[in-house]
Amino acid sequence: MRKRRNLPELPRWLSRPGLHRVVLFVFSFLLYLNTLTHDYALDDAIVLTDNLFVQQGVQGLEGLFSKDTFYGFFKEEGKDRLVAGGRYRPLSLATFALEVALFGQNPGLSHLINVLLYGLLVVLLYELIRTLVSRRKRIRHPALLALAAAALFAAHPLHTEVVANIKGRDEILALLGSATALWLAFRLRGIAGALLVGLVFFAALLSKENAISFLALAPLAFWLFGGDRLPRVLLRSLPFLVATGLFLAIRFSVLGPGLGEPSMELMNNPFLKLEDGRYLPYSGAEKAATILYTLGLDLKLLFWPHPLTHDYYPQHIARQSFANPWVGLSGLAYLILFGLGLWGLWQRRTWAFGIWLYLLPLALVANIFFPVGTFMSERFLFMPSLGLAFLFGLGIHAWVKRRGSWRVPLALAGGVVAAFGLLSLLRNPVWKDNFTLFTTDIATSGESAKLNNAVGGELIARAVKSADEARKKQWLQQADRHLDKAIELHPAYKNAYLLRGNALHYLQQYEAAIAHYRRALALDPDYEEARNNLGITLRAAGKYYGEQKGDLQKATQYLEEAYRLRPREYETVRLLGVAYGIQQRHADAIRLFDRAARLEPDKAEAWLNLAKAHFNAGDAERGNAFRQKALGLDPEVEKQPGQ
């Protein structure tokens, strides 16, 4: 018979759960301490700063629970369903509403709550894993295994998007609620225990829909760690099933049944290709190959989390075919994982749970069963990464157990955790604000139309606020290049045309700006912002060609079009009146100046211009009358520059 190896004697601190809890919480908190001075970023506008219901505080809770999650941001029926199926995550937004009600908008507080919740989650995952594996006879050091797994989870750089971005609270709450429900299911018995499990899991589902993966993970845990037969497994799973049924019933009553049709806008449906000037869906083979390719990237990032980016939108990931060997390798890797997972379940192997912890949550966000609006995202790996952490802890435990030594495996585990933690610390500052995030990640996601567009918008915003003319011009030129790239990648990107028009406007390239606004309106005739900006630029172009270039004909042409778009804007009306007056079109000048005076009846300048128009037309009586009206409003009006 094979001689049994003696188990190593572990240091006392490796078997003290109380110490482990404190260390894990402090470690998690310190990893993200440098986010507490950060501002809002990325989707924080959707869920917090620009969300109607969240900004109403307690009064907005009814709206949060009765509408699509995005409704409070778009404030318009239909737009909240840009991504097929809609979104229903009221609980995470409710926490933001309560923050606003109690403290107002306070990004530092919101970041602090995220970090505290993350620390709590890491401790809870430690308790869950320790509870599960302690039920397996082969696991001699459950606290050691759980410590290694929870530490790796805490340190993983993929989690920076979730913790450092306030919006990521939905992911934290979903996993916290799901894991807590499973932990309670192993510790509580009776009807009261089942009710509590169901209630906690229901809260997880209300935080984010991907918690539903625990509807399958819970029975797998009962099967692998509870030692139950199938009928008992199903009985213990009832609280999860009932909570899911209740959640789906509420979700369907709010959003309606079904997932709807996929969007034909590239930024909401990445599986579109441009052919003959039209966007068409990928073929079945192209979509399958691209999904497999992105799944391979997911696997790579779990083990080698570099480089990281928040943006995986088109065309950061190119359309793939099965001719790409990486697609085949990815497919083979997942086929092996799936096969091992099934075999491990049949054999009730502990490691099988780690595989399913990865595969099941990932399947929900991999565009396999329904579209999620983008190819992939690092936040989508938050829950699946728990599978890697579990297998990591299991591997460290196996090494200690089989080699009869703890120093080398623990040194390796500490090195990996330290390396991942350092990467997290270095990644966190990128999430300081939109400008820092976008201008950093564009180096990685340079082929993303969405990120090029976002960088352009941020550069324009910075330029407009700058008093340094040289820096202002430099930022505007950079913005123009990024927006040009966005349009190259997505020729029907209406917002990119709008923003590039803005950049060209500030660069005084008015004709090019006007052309971009017209293109945006051609793509969407109801694009009110493009129509408004077109009117502003037409007015600016008219003033520029009249005052700077002396081209009165061109100036009049632009001003007349600006007037048709914005007939109630005083400055446009005034400038067109001036142009008509210079051309001695006295009747037209009088008509425009009269309209300007009616628009701004308290503005002395408006009446004085009307007076001059009448004088120029030879009507001294009316000219004097309007002059006196102007002087009555402002006795110094004739001394002002330009009068």
pLDDT surpassing 90 at residue 221: yes
CA distance 297 to 300: 5
Q: What's the pLDDT score for residue 1?
A: 39
CA distance 471 to 460: 11
Bridge partners, 279 (sequence order): 274
Confidence at 10, pLDDT banded by 50, 70, 90: confident
Separate counts of helices (H) and strands (E) for the chain: 30, 2
Worst-scoring range by mean pLDDT, 163-172, 255-264, 589-598, 625-634?
A: 255-264
Q: Is 369 part of a structural domain of the chain?
A: yes
Q: Residue 195: what residue type?
A: L
| pLDDT average, residue stretch 10-35 | 93
What's the token pair of residue 270?
């990445």
- Contact predicate 204/197, CB 8 Å: no
Worst-scoring range by mean pLDDT, 75-89, 284-298, 541-555, 610-624?
A: 75-89
- Give me the long-range contacts of 626-633 (CB less than 8 A, separation at least 24): 626/597, 630/604, 630/605, 630/606, 631/604, 633/602, 633/603, 633/604, 633/607
Q: What's the pLDDT score for residue 277?
A: 86
CA distance 555 to 540: 9
pLDDT tens for 368-404 read 998 898 999 999 999 999 999 999 999 999 998 887 7
* Of residues 224, 160, 245, the one with CA closest to residue 356: 224
Containing 278, the helix (H) or strand (E) segment is strand 278-281
Q: What's the pLDDT score for residue 376?
A: 96
Confidence at 313, pLDDT banded by 50, 70, 90: very high
Q: Is 557 part of a structural domain of the chain?
A: no
Confidence at 77, pLDDT banded by 50, 70, 90: low
Q: What's the pLDDT score for residue 263?
A: 82
Instruction: Say which residue the tokens 């994982």 belong to.
Output: 337
Count: domains in the chain: 1
Q: Is 101 part of a structural domain of the chain?
A: yes
pLDDT surpassing 60 at residue 79: no
Q: Is 496 part of a structural domain of the chain?
A: no
Q: CA 98, 153, 26 angle in degrees (round to 5)?
A: 65
Q: Is 409 part of a structural domain of the chain?
A: yes
Q: What's the pLDDT score for residue 5?
A: 52
* Domain range for 255: 17-261+283-427
pLDDT surpassing 60 at residue 236: yes
Q: What residues contact 103, with CB distance under 8 A and at least 6 apart?
A: 109
More confident residue, 258 or 391: 391
- Return the DSSP state at 258: S
Q: Residue 161: what residue type?
A: E
Q: Residue 364: what residue type?
A: L
Confidence at 638, pLDDT banded by 50, 70, 90: confident
528-547 and 552-565 helices, crossing angle to 10°: 160
Q: What residues contact 515, with CB distance under 8 A and at least 6 apart?
A: none
Q: What's the pLDDT score for residue 2?
A: 45
* Of residues 342, 370, 546, 374, the one with CA closest to residue 450: 374
Q: What's the pLDDT score for residue 83?
A: 62
Q: Is 478 part of a structural domain of the chain?
A: no
DSSP-assigned states of every residue in 422-459: HHHHHHGGGGSSHHHHHHHHTTT-TT-HHHHHHHHHHH
Confidence at 138, pLDDT banded by 50, 70, 90: confident
What's the token pair of residue 292?
């497999």
The pTM of this model reads: 0.92
CA distance 333 to 196: 39
CA distances from 156 to 19, 78, 170 (A): 21, 37, 18
Worst-scoring range by mean pLDDT, 38-52, 118-132, 260-274, 339-353?
A: 260-274
Q: Is 4 part of a structural domain of the chain?
A: no
Confidence at 643, pLDDT banded by 50, 70, 90: low
Q: Is 599 part of a structural domain of the chain?
A: no
pLDDT tens for 87-110 read 899 999 999 999 999 999 999 999
Q: CA 552, 558, 559 angle in degrees (round to 5)?
A: 85
What's the token pair of residue 159?
């989690």
pLDDT surpassing 70 at residue 423: yes
169-187 and 238-255 helices, crossing angle to 10°: 150
CB atoms within 10 A of CB 5: 10
DSSP-assigned states of every residue in 162-218: HHHSGGGHHHHHHHHHHHHHHHHHHH--HHHHHHHHHHHHHHHHHH-GGGGGHHHHH
- Give me the long-range contacts of 227-234 (CB less than 8 A, separation at least 24): 227/135
